Amino acid sequence: MTSTVVEGRTIELTSLDRVLYPAAGFTKGDVVDYYASVAEVLLPHLRDRPVSFVRAPRGVEAESFMAKHVPPGTPEWVTVREVHRVGGKTDRQVVVQNLPTLLWAANLSVLELHTPQWRLPAEGMADRLVFDLDPGAPATIVQCCAVARWLRDRLERDGLPSYAKTSGSKGLHVLAPLRPADSEAAAGYAERLAREAAEALPDLVVDQVPRRLREGRVFVDHGQNLWTRTTAAPYTLRARPRPAVSTPVTWDEVAGCEQPGDLVFTACDLASRLERHGDPLAPLLDPSRAGRLPDGP
């Protein structure tokens, strides 16, 4: 066990040499170091959003699990808030507001951080849209990039700027900042755009859930805009064989993607990317960039 003081908070770091990503030899200590290295750009994307954790205490080749509840033994200095659930129930959930909390979570073998499309205290008022582009083999992220460009142009027609990041798995996320709007209305608008994409690009896009429809096409998942749903946060690690990262990318990179490997990034790539690009999703956090949700049909 190693004790460290971060911003005045004492954090007990344990089993730092435990390998969590065997294929890469990436340890829990490496996970802690990674999150410390990206905290400056990651924390603004987490601020005031209740976080769902994906934990993998025995590594990615063993069982991982989603944890929404406050873990036992959570320090009193960790921000915890009441969050509503379906049916009117409430639950307590962690909000990662600072570096000590982020590193405390990393020490719990939290690999993935997932957040809703709204901030507390304005539960259910979306401040962004998200489209999760999921390719069905043999389609890849290359086809996702074509769909992302269509969505970018379509959103621009409604006065909404958009930005992209890899999912850290197979696909791509397209996000647009909103002036706070009811999540149900935002979800309805996203569903309409997904349907438009399927009509405009029938050989490339599907907006329906059944997997049998997805072969060789890109599923435009709009459902993550519902107030109960969450999406992998920018810069989160993913519980994949290697320490892949959900990485913000530029539209030039999206346009230039010719092979699936062109937009695959791991924890080791992020320092050089941040030096070169900064945070391509920084405008997503700027209220002056947010657009008004278009009225319904």
Assess contact for 83 and 154: CB atoms under 8 A. no
**What's residue 30's pLDDT?**
98
- Residue 134, pLDDT > 90, answer yes
The whole-number average pLDDT for the span 210-232 is 91
| DSSP letter string, 70-130 | PPTT--TTS-EEEEE-GGG-EEEEEB--SHHHHHHHHHTTEEEEEE-SB-TTSTTEEEEEE
**What's residue 211's pLDDT?**
73
Residues 222-272: tens digit of each pLDDT: 999 999 999 999 999 999 999 999 999 999 999 999 999 999 999 999 999
Residues 158-205: tens digit of each pLDDT: 999 999 999 999 999 999 999 999 999 999 999 999 999 999 999 999
The first and second tokens of residue 132, run together, are 């999760």
Residues 41-92: tens digit of each pLDDT: 999 999 999 999 999 999 999 999 999 999 999 999 999 999 998 877 899 9
- Residue 296, pLDDT > 70, answer no
Q: pLDDT: is 67 or 297 the higher one?
A: 67
* Bridge partner residues of 244 (DSSP): 266
**What's residue 297's pLDDT?**
61
- Distance (Å) of CA 69 to CA 66, 87, 110, 264, 277: 9, 17, 13, 31, 35
**What's residue 97's pLDDT?**
98
Cα gap 42→169, rounded to integer Å: 18
The whole-number average pLDDT for the span 107-125 is 97
Residue type, 189: Y
The first and second tokens of residue 157, run together, are 């027609």
Q: Which of 182, 172, 168 is nearest to 38 (CA)?
A: 168
106 φ/ψ angles, rounded to the nearest 5 degrees: -60, -35
| 174: DSSP letter | E
- 129 contacts: CB under 8 Å, gap ≥ 6: 117, 155, 160, 175, 176, 178, 186, 189, 190, 225
